[in-house]
Amino acid sequence: MKTYEKAPAKINLMLDVLHKRPDGYHEVEMVMTMVDLADRLEMVELPRDTIIISSQVGYIPLDEKNLAFQAARLIKDRYDVKRGVHIHLDKKIPVAAGLAGGSSDAAATLRGLNRLWGLNIPMIELQELGAELGSDVPFCVTGGTALATGRGEVLHSICNPPQCWVVLAKPPINVSTQEVYTRLRSDQISKHPSAADMIAAIQSGSFQEVCEQLGNVLEDVTLKLHPEVQQLKEAMMRLGADGTLMSGSGPTVFGLVSKESKVPRIYNGLRGFCREVYAVRLLT
Ligand code: ATP
């Protein structure tokens, strides 16, 4: 018995941090959607009670540190499953990029094992399991477009933004999400993007308005630490993107582009100084 799952990358169309909570997490407001850049997971049932993770890439952990491993162990423990699984991760999403690759793999594992083992766990319960693995996992379980509040796990589904091209570029630097949040002074944020205005822009179906409402308060921190991320944003705009933003805590920058004819110039221009560039569609 085997099954396959696609684990798409997410982007934040807006990300605001309201304040730091007594439990140490930050209270956030994010509008998230998915793009057609995805890892592919193959899950093969094993007769013995074990979890094996493999991947074609050598730079992610394949042990209990892997989020797909953690998702498989959680579902096995919670539903008392005595069977095992071999999960192969065909990684396409850049790692530690602000695109929630690991979270999406975890979510795909929950969906896939629910099917493989015939557990019939309702979506809402899969999301609750996901919240135990990471703040972005519940959103990745269902995908689509959503407003996420709380620490990111409280979801309100909204309609998809108008279809467009998304050019993603990941500079060759490592950004620690934890460091970015630690450096952020939520009481000193100069301009908070508005979730309500982004949702209104999406609901109006106006691509231009969506571009105008893009905003991410974590840019203040990451762009200061890594000026090349700012340069990448400027290059994207110069090359013709209609709007740009850093996703999550970075360092990936994405540009939204309405006209397909503009995409090759932006893609090729960025490839000149950035190795990891992708041109994909929104997953609508
Ligand atoms: P987020 O936006 O949720 O912070 P990210 O996109 O910045 O996530 P990931 O690609 O999820 O980052 O990787 C973060 C870290 O998690 C990596 O350093 C990697 O070692 C570890 N990791 C664990 N499981 C996975 C996985 N299945 N795929 C990629 N990285 C994983």
Find out whether 211 and 243 touch, Cβ atoms under 8 Å: yes
Output the six-digit token pair for 119: 């557990």
Tell me the CATH number for domain 2-158: 3.30.230.10
Q: What's the whole-number mean pLDDT along residues 85-94?
A: 98
pLDDT greater than 90 at residue 167: yes
Nearest CA to ligand 1 atom 26: 102
Rounded to 10 degrees, what is the CA torsion of 221, 223, 227, 229? 140
pLDDT band at 114 (very low <50, low <70, confident <90, very high): very high
Q: What is the pLDDT of residue 157?
A: 97
Q: What is the pLDDT of residue 54?
A: 98
Asked whether residue 102 is marked as a ligand-binding residue, the answer is: yes
Which SS3 state, helix, strand or coil, does residue 44 take?
strand
Q: In this structure, what DSSP letter does residue 1 have? A: -
Q: What's the whole-number mean pLDDT along residues 19-45?
A: 95
The Cα–Cα gap between 279 and 35 comes to 10
pLDDT band at 188 (very low <50, low <70, confident <90, very high): confident
Which residues form the catalytic set? 10, 136
pLDDT greater than 90 at residue 40: yes
The Cα–Cα gap between 250 and 283 comes to 20
Asked whether residue 98 is marked as a ligand-binding residue, the answer is: yes
Nearest CA to ligand 1 atom 16: 102
pLDDT greater than 90 at residue 234: yes
Residue 233: exposed, middle, or buried by beta-carbon count in 10 A (0-12, 13-18, 19+)?
buried
Which atom of ligand 1 is least distant from the CA of 105? 27
Mean pLDDT of the chain: 96
Residue ranges around ligand 1 (CB below 6 Å): 60-61, 65-68, 89, 95-103, 105, 136, 177, 248
Find out whether 123 and 153 touch, Cβ atoms under 8 Å: no
The Cα–Cα gap between 242 and 262 comes to 10
Model pTM score? 0.96
Nearest CA to ligand 1 atom 23: 66
Q: What is the pLDDT of residue 273?
A: 82
Q: What is the pLDDT of residue 44?
A: 98
Find out whether 99 and 247 touch, Cβ atoms under 8 Å: yes
Asked whether residue 96 is marked as a ligand-binding residue, the answer is: yes
pLDDT greater than 90 at residue 190: no
Asked whether residue 223 is marked as a ligand-binding residue, the answer is: no
Q: Where are the alpha helices (DSSP H) in 79-151?
A: 101-116, 123-133, 137-142
Asked whether residue 150 is marked as a ligand-binding residue, the answer is: no
pLDDT greater than 90 at residue 25: no
Centre of ligand 1 to C-alpha 93, Å, is 10
Is domain 165-281 classified as CATH 3.30.70.890?
yes
Comparison of pLDDT for 172 and 186, the residue scoring more = 172
Q: What is the pLDDT of residue 225?
A: 93
What residue segments make up the domains of the chain, in order of their start?
Answer: 2-158, 165-281
Centre of ligand 1 to C-alpha 234, Å, is 27
Centre of ligand 1 to C-alpha 28, Å, is 20
pLDDT greater than 90 at residue 187: no
Neighbours of 131 (CB within 10 A): 18
User: Minimum mean pLDDT among 27-36, 101-110, 183-192: which range?
Assistant: 183-192
Q: What is the pLDDT of residue 24?
A: 85
Which atom of ligand 1 is least distant from the CA of 102? 11
In single-letter form, the type of residue at position 18 comes to L
Nearest CA to ligand 1 atom 14: 96
The Cα–Cα gap between 44 and 214 comes to 41
* Type and span of the H or E element at 215: strand 215-216
Nearest CA to ligand 1 atom 11: 102
Which atom of ligand 1 is least distant from the CA of 66? 24
Q: What's the whole-number mean pLDDT along residues 203-229?
A: 96
